[in-house]
Amino acid sequence: MTLAAKTIEEFKAEFKSVDISEVPYDKQGYHLSIESRTGNLLGIVNFLDRREFYIVDLFCVDYQDYLELVYFFNTHRELCRIKVTLKLDPEKPVAPTISNIYTIARWYEREVHEFFGVYFEGHPNLTYLFLHEEIDHYPLRKKHVPVPDGDKKLLNSFKPHEEENSFFINLGPQHPSTHGVLRVVLKMDGEYLISAEPVLGYLHRMHEKMAENKSYMQFLPNPARMDYPGALLFNLAYVETVEKLCGIEVPERAKYIRTITCELNRIASHLLWLGAFPADLGALTPFMYAFDDRENILDILEDVTGSRLTYCYFRFGGLYNDINEESFVDATKRFIERMRERLVMYDKLITGNVIFINRVKNIGILEQGQAKKYGFSGPVIRSTGIPFDMRRVEPYAAYGSIDFEIPTGHIGDNMDRYMVRMKEIEISLNIIEEGIKRLPSGPFKTEKVPKKLKPPKGDIYNAVESTRGETGVYIVSDESDTPYRMRWRVPSYSNLMTFPHLSRGVLIADAIATLGSYDIVVPEIDR
Amino acid sequence: MCDTINNIINIVGKEVVRTVIGLVGVFIVVLGNAIMLTWTERKVAGHIQRRIGPKEVGPFGLLQSFADSVKLLGKELLTPANVEKPLYYLAPTLIFVPVLVTFVVIPFDGFLQVKDINTGILVILAFSSLTVLSILIGGWGSDNKYSLIGAVRSVAQNIAYEIPLLLSLLPIIFMANSFSLRDVVEAQKGLWFVVYQPIAFLIFFIASVAETNRTPFDLPEAESELVAGFHTEYSGMRFSLFFLAEYTNMFIVSAIAVTFFLGGYQGPILPGVVWFFMKTYLLVFVLLWFRWTFPRVRFDQLLNFSWKILIPVSFLNLLVTGGILKL
């Protein structure tokens, strides 16, 4: 019996009056749909919490007649995606908070609040997360809804108050080790952190709103701007979702090329991190070495995709162009050979260094139990020992037919996160090798994909494993040529939000090492 | 050249002239060294990182440092609004005093020494601890939390590492039976002290990396944590004075290590001064090498290392040396 069938049985026994329905997974990307009411939402969330479901995403859709809060749940053991919806009155949207059950909801709810004006009863700190406090309307609502005057004071963003025996430091938005414009407000007692609060929004570009004003084709370059080091993977997440939504078939060759290029991009992204992480610890040389290797990948990908950083290579139903069999395969093979040698060198230079080991071992320990509360993913969750990888859980592109291992850590400290990523580089090399070996011939794109896509009415959630974790796209289509609502579930978001938890009471140097070990990309968090 | 200078000094025979000439010489060495070292550091860093380093200005980029100095001189001296002005202005100047004074007692050659004081090593140790004072003043006066943390770190670090530094030099003083640096060098005619005292040499070298605030012990400036540490708020020439002092300090600790452990200016065939500089820059190169290879240690690890390992070991070394000499 699958988990979905089991859950539906148990659910029906516990909640008799609540609608639960099975959803065609192939079409919509989730298994169950539950329609809750304000009264029983907490009961349902508690029910899922007891069954070890983690929260994938929480967001809102404005259907004009009503606002719909959407909660996505899933488990780390077996794929069983559940959509819980809650209809709200657009005039007075109030919902109970679930932040005491799922910690990450604290931030998701703030986000929903600032974009839709939904109030969450019992939320500890319902302030703006991304937006500037002076914004006068709720941007993602379909109609112009002004922010009530009485609320503006409440919505003021995080402002620290000085207390005795402690002081505040603004780590960022301009700081050498926040990797972009992330601001973290640190409350400190000498060298020790009392608390840390990430303040986001410095790179907020409102991609989700942009999507509502562009056709499906026009939005293609945008995902690459969110996660710039792993652009192809975000590109893939978007393209796959739209393909599933419209029922477009992809030829086998395109699937393999997608896999190969994505893995190349994953290595490039990990190499970027491999340079930045030791730099956070004070070693500047690995940065140059890693960039030297990364340059090789950029050259290979430039040949194929035409750009070096913000790729937009995948098209609905295939690719922008075919690879050059000879030069691409040769260059990739040469790179794999070189990279394997270099990995040995990195092991000697970084992994074996006693100062490095002392700086990262047993620092920033994330327990397995936290995974459910925060919903973090990617190398961060694998470092805690949970072998959760979307490539395995929900195979897409050609990952289903390629065998690969999933590296896991033991205790979830910075060292484990480092080791997992290093191992992933190695495994990506194997996947590329395997992919090249099996690369089928044939067309690289489906003919007859209309320029103007008009997907059928409905919604879909689809996820890929980007370099930082589970990247999900949720699209609501209303049969027009633009998405009615597009929601991006980004991995760095939930990864970063464990930082306040991990940085309590640690030295500032350790906090920075931990922040570096997450490999966050700020444009992706801010969207 | 040494003979000429020696002749002049003999003819005039006056302390004053010797001191004046000496000071001019010191200035030349300090500035020349700083200019040389900035270029060397960038070149070494470049080659360690598989780059070429500076190459545009002058042959092999040798004039790069001059171009940089001109740039730094031309920069506006920004003074942030809420700084403690007297302290803020004083710090970059003050950091140069200990640097210049320590040069006075270093014997570059048998005759090339500004003044041989019979308590030479005490002068060096006393004045080099002054460096931390100006770092503290600068960090405190900057009215910046990063600077303050950097300054406070620097004080704790210097106190912790001054002790093993002194303790590792004491066995040498026992063996040479003198506080004068020239006597110490002369005592190494046969065998260098590094052969008798390898542990003391290691401790001294590690402690001096910490004293000069170089990676892996560069906590007062810790770029990734404190932006630029104690000199975050300094710009233009004020910043470059801190910068110069750092490079001069590197030279000084290496010169002291050479004097005490590696036979100073002694060596066959080549003149003593050449030997001296060769040995010193070899050690400086090791310092550069450290910087571009190691990550930074954490603050508590740094202090633990000194108090729990370096200090007990150097005490033990001192006891053993004392015991053997007594026998």
User: Which tens digits make up the pLDDT trace of B34-66?
Assistant: 888 888 888 888 888 888 888 888 788 888 888
CB contact B216 to A (< 8 Å): yes
pLDDT over 90 percentage in chain A: 5
For residue A157, pLDDT over 60 is answered with no
Which H helix or E strand runs over A253? helix A252-280
What pLDDT is stored for residue B10 in this prediction?
66
Rg value, chain B, Cα: 20
Collect all residues with Cβ–Cβ distance below 8 Å to B86 and sequence separation of at least 6: B141
Specify the higher pLDDT residue, A151 or B39: B39
B69 min Cα distance to partner chain A (Å): 24
pLDDT over 90 percentage in chain B: 1
Contact list in B for residue A283 (CB cut-off 8 A) is 215, 293-296
Residue in the structure block whose two tokens are 């093993």:
B164
Q: What is the mean pLDDT of residues A196-219?
A: 87
What pLDDT is stored for residue A158 in this prediction?
56
Interchain contact, A288 vs B51, CB within 8 Å:
yes
For residue A182, pLDDT over 70 is answered with yes
**Inter-CA distances, B120 with B132, B179, B321, Å:** 20, 6, 21
For residue A160, pLDDT over 70 is answered with no
Interchain contact, B222 vs A278, CB within 8 Å:
no
**B292 → chain A, closest CA residue:** A285
What pLDDT is stored for residue A355 in this prediction?
87
CB contact A406 to B (< 8 Å): no
Which pTM does this prediction carry?
0.86
For residue B5, pLDDT over 80 is answered with no
Interchain contact, A279 vs B224, CB within 8 Å:
yes
**Over chain A, what is the mean pLDDT?**
85
User: Which tens digits make up the pLDDT trace of A78-132?
Assistant: 888 888 888 888 888 888 888 888 888 888 988 898 888 888 888 888 888 888 7
CB contact B305 to A (< 8 Å): no
Q: What are the beta bridge partners of residue A60?
A: A69
Q: What is the mean pLDDT of residues B224-243?
A: 81
Helix axes B236-261, B64-74, angle to 10 degrees: 140
**Spatial CA neighbour of A485 closest among A71, A209, A239:** A209
What pLDDT is stored for residue B112 in this prediction?
67
Q: What is the mean pLDDT of residues A342-355?
A: 87
- Between A and B, how many CB-CB pairs are < 8 A? 74
Q: What is the mean pLDDT of residues A486-500?
A: 89
What pLDDT is stored for residue B13 in this prediction?
64
Q: How confident is the model at residue B96 (pLDDT cuts 50, 70, 90)?
A: confident
Q: Among partner residues B222, B295, B299, which is closest to A353 by beta-carbon distance? A: B295
Interchain contact, A283 vs B294, CB within 8 Å:
yes
> What is the distance between the alpha carbons of residues B6 and A377, in angstroms, rounded to a whole number?
74
Q: What is the mean pLDDT of residues B322-326?
A: 83
CB contact B155 to A (< 8 Å): no
Comparing A257-261, A375-379, B17-21, B322-326, which segment has the lowest mean pLDDT? B17-21
Say which amino acid occupies B291.
R
Collect all residues with Cβ–Cβ distance below 8 Å to A5 and sequence separation of at least 6: none
A64 min Cα distance to partner chain B (Å): 48
CB contact A509 to B (< 8 Å): yes
Comparing A3-7, B145-149, B243-247, which segment has the lowest mean pLDDT? A3-7
Say which amino acid occupies B138.
G
**A363 → chain B, closest CA residue:** B298
A511 min Cα distance to partner chain B (Å): 9
For residue B21, pLDDT over 60 is answered with yes
What pLDDT is stored for residue B12 in this prediction?
61
| DSSP tag of A478 | -
What pLDDT is stored for residue B8 in this prediction?
64
For residue B266, pLDDT over 80 is answered with no
Interchain contact, A508 vs B218, CB within 8 Å:
no
Best B225, B226, B303 residue to mutate vs chain A (most A CBs within 10 Å): B225
**Spatial CA neighbour of A264 closest among A467, A439, A463:** A467
What pLDDT is stored for residue A140 in this prediction?
87
Coil vs helix vs strand at B215? coil
Interchain contact, B50 vs A167, CB within 8 Å:
no
What pLDDT is stored for residue A401 in this prediction?
86
**B297 → chain A, closest CA residue:** A355
B296 min Cα distance to partner chain A (Å): 5
| DSSP tag of A366 | P
Specify the higher pLDDT residue, A161 or A302: A302
- Percentage helix, strand, coil, to 5, in chain A? 40, 15, 40
For residue A150, pLDDT over 70 is answered with no
Bond prior to A395 in cis (omega within 30° of 0): no
Helix axes B198-211, B272-291, angle to 10 degrees: 60
Best A169, A277, A288, A346 residue to mutate vs chain B (most B CBs within 10 Å): A288
Q: How far is CA A191 from the centre of its chain?
A: 32
Collect all residues with Cβ–Cβ distance below 8 Å to A457 and sequence separation of at least 6: A477, A478, A479
Interchain contact, A509 vs B225, CB within 8 Å:
yes
User: Which tens digits make up the pLDDT trace of B167-195?
Assistant: 888 888 888 888 888 888 888 887 888 77
Interchain contact, A285 vs B292, CB within 8 Å:
yes
Contact list in B for residue A508 (CB cut-off 8 A) is 149, 225
Could you tell me whether strands A82-88 and A32-36 are parallel, antiparallel, or unpaired per DSSP bridges? Answer: parallel
Order of strands across the sheet that contains A82-88: A19-22, A32-36, A82-88, A67-75, A53-62
Interchain contact, A278 vs B295, CB within 8 Å:
yes
Specify the higher pLDDT residue, B120 or A288: A288
Return the ∠ at Cα B30 (arms to B218 and B8), rounded to 5°. Answer: 155
Contact list in B for residue A280 (CB cut-off 8 A) is 224
CB contact A177 to B (< 8 Å): yes
Best B143, B217, B224 residue to mutate vs chain A (most A CBs within 10 Å): B224
**Inter-CA distances, A176 with A171, A172, B225, B227, Å:** 9, 8, 8, 6
Collect all residues with Cβ–Cβ distance below 8 Å to A356 and sequence separation of at least 6: A278, A281, A283, A350, B295
Q: How confident is the model at residue A267 (pLDDT cuts 50, 70, 90)?
A: very high
What pLDDT is stored for residue B244 in this prediction?
83
Q: How many CB atoms lie within 10 A of CB B115?
A: 12
B7 contacts B19 by C-beta, under 8 angstroms: no
Instruction: List, in sequence order, every beta strand (DSSP E) within A363-457.
Output: none
CB contact A278 to B (< 8 Å): yes
CB contact B151 to A (< 8 Å): no
Comparing A41-45, A95-99, B284-288, B323-327, which segment has the lowest mean pLDDT? B323-327
B50 min Cα distance to partner chain A (Å): 8
Which pair of structure tokens corresponds to residue A42? 């907490």
CB contact A508 to B (< 8 Å): yes
For residue A324, pLDDT over 70 is answered with yes
Interchain contact, B301 vs A176, CB within 8 Å:
no
Interchain contact, A285 vs B293, CB within 8 Å:
yes
